[in-house]
Amino acid sequence: MLPSYRVPFFDALAAACRGGLGVFAGKARPGEMIEAAARLETAVYFPALNRHWLAGPLYACWQSGFVTWLETWQPEALVVEANPRYLHTPAAVRWMHARRRPVIGWGLGAPGTYGGAFGSLRRKARQNFLHQFDALLVYSRRGAEEYAALGFDPTRIFVAPNAITPRPHKPPPPRPIPTGPATVLFVGRLQERKRVDLLLRACASLPESMRPRLWVVGDGPVRDELETLAQEVYPAAQFWGAQYGAQLEQLYDQADLFVLPGTGGLAVQQAMSFGLPVIVAAGDGTQSDLVRQANGWCVPPGELQALETTLAAALADLPGLRRMGEESFRIVSQEVNVELMVEAFAGCIRSLGKGREG
């Protein structure tokens, strides 16, 4: 699938590819509620027909026309999602390898456990799937360690920090210490897994003197439920709906702390580019490279008490939040941004090209 937040990355990667970049992607399932992009500016978008089968642990996807697209586009290198649930991937790998062209797997890592009666079989199946790739691109150091633990050659694993925002081109706004309540900001799609309900309850649990202005930016299927809950537990919360461009930037500029209480949501990087400290729920490992003790907190997902304690500690030290925000800005300027992600992809592809020449 082609999420809208990936458009800047694919277009930037296309600009780094002398022969161009083709993106073969289909539509997500409706229940995934992913905002899809309709077009790319620099890369060439080829719509695929995704056939989604079953759900949960048994989910699989068949992308019709994959090999036909390869025959038309004739890529010199292919990057595919390193996910065994995409059933046509082995056929694409065979097509590329028959022409002595490399295939790179791109994924989060392999965090699954391999215990139980069929643990060794699952582990072997995952190893066989991974070893068809010539190299792996992974979002985080933790993901790289997980792939290496499955026996993949560490010298062929490349970390490409998971980024959706370019390197900031202007410094963060000046933020004087507020004389009144601090402002806590959430930005994202309002769906159950984002756990904005926990954020409302955590704000309500604070002593009255510490309770912040809570700004919730975004829209989605649970917005009505959240607004009803807010009236019950935290009427001070303000729901802004979906905001973009200059309007969204103004909200980031005026905030003191960004909180992402549930899973998913790459808006944390955007918040950091505005010099904000962050509280995020620990998830797939990408947060560990992005959020550190110097710029924020990772809390266990779904644990209200942990969020309450962390939020209280953050709001009790507003000067400390300013220092953490400076570190957030440094991280997205120097370590995690779209430009560095493109460099990692390009470096991986170049390394395979040199190997083939040798």
Q: How far apart are the first and last CA of the chain?
A: 35
3-state secondary structure (DSSP) of residue 266:
coil
CA torsion through residues 275, 279, 283, 285, sign: positive
Q: Look at the domain 4-164+337-357 and name its fold.
A: Rossmann fold (3.40.50)
pLDDT band at 228 (very low <50, low <70, confident <90, very high): very high
pLDDT in tens, 89-123: 999 999 999 999 999 999 988 876 666 666 788 88
Q: Which CATH architecture has domain 183-334?
A: 3-Layer(aba) Sandwich (3.40)
Kindly report the backbone phi and psi dihedral angles of residue 189, in degrees, each rounded to the nearest multiple of 5, phi listed first.
-70, 135
At residue 313, does pLDDT exceed 50?
yes
pLDDT at 357 > cutoff 50? no
Q: What is the pTM of this model?
A: 0.86
Domain ranges of the chain: 4-164+337-357, 183-334
Q: Which two tokens stand for residue 194?
A: 């984002």
Higher pLDDT pick, 34 / 315: 315
The 10s digit of each residue's pLDDT in 159-217 is: 998 888 899 989 999 999 998 999 999 999 898 989 999 999 999 999 999 999 999 99
pLDDT at 26: 92
Which of these ranges, 21-25, 85-89, 283-287, 305-309, has the smallest mean pLDDT? 283-287
How far apart are the C-alpha atoms of 185 and 254, rounded to whole Å? Answer: 9
Write down the pLDDT at residue 121: 84
Spell out a b/e string for 188-199, using b for 16 or more CB atoms within 10 Å of the CB, else e.
bbbbeebbbbbb
What is the per-residue pLDDT for 46?
95
| Fold match, 4-164+337-357 / 183-334 | yes
The pLDDT score that the predictor gives to residue 164 is 87
pLDDT single digits (tens) 241-255: 999 999 999 999 999
Q: Are 206 and 200 in contact (CB under 8 A)?
A: no
pLDDT for 289: 77
Q: Residue 358's pLDDT is what?
A: 33
The DSSP code sequence of 134-172 is SEEEESSHHHHHHHHHTT--GGGEEE-----SPPPSSPP
Q: Which residues pair with 135 in a beta bridge?
A: 104
